Amino acid sequence: MAAALVDSAALVAAFGVNQKHGAHYRDLFKRAAAGAWSLSTTLPCVVEASHLLNVPQRYTMLRWVAAGGVLVFPLSQEAIEDMVQAMVRYTAVPRTEMDLADASLLRLAEDTGVLTIMTLDVRDFSRYRLADGRAFEIL
């Protein structure tokens, strides 16, 4: 593996306190660093994780991001409409709702071709598809 996307759930698991899957994601991040994987995410994912983490874990995660632990890809203003369309397509109220962070990762996958993703949201990312029908590989 040379590249993976990182969802906010993986960030919260890795940096949060007493997270059930924390060891798994911390191990993946260490393996990624040792193997020079390219880890990518979006600002909506960083913001969501920051909101969900308590202090000082929030600061630790943000410093890791700032130090290059994960590359934060910019999203163009034009990408917003595509993300809204994906959110509408994958939202079936009240059961499921695609949020902006998930939509941004779908867009990032479209832009980069990277389909490997670190996430706890298995149910959601198992149903999301790129425009050409390709599915995510969940770590």
Q: The tokens of 124 are what?
A: 């959601």
If you average pLDDT over residues 89-113, what whole number do you get?
Answer: 93
User: Hey, what CATH class is 3-138 in?
Assistant: alpha beta
Residue 1 has what pLDDT? 59
pLDDT category at 102 given cuts 50, 70, 90 is very high
Percent of the chain exceeding pLDDT 90 equals 94
CB of 57 closer than 8 Å to CB of 19? no
The residue to which tokens 């994958």 are assigned: 90
pLDDT tens column, 67-88: 999 999 999 999 999 999 999 9
Answer whether residue 117 shows pLDDT above 90: yes
Residue 39's SS3 state is strand
Q: Tell me the pairing of strands 116-118 and 3-6.
A: parallel
Distance spanning both ends of the chain, measured CA to CA: 11
Q: Where are the domains of the chain?
A: 3-138
The residue to which tokens 């969900």 are assigned: 52
pLDDT tens column, 1-39: 599 999 999 999 999 999 999 999 999 999 999 999 999
CB of 86 closer than 8 Å to CB of 103? yes
- With a threshold of 0.85, does the pTM exceed it? yes
What residues have CB less than 8 Å from 6, skipping those under 6 apart?
39, 40, 41, 45, 70, 117, 118
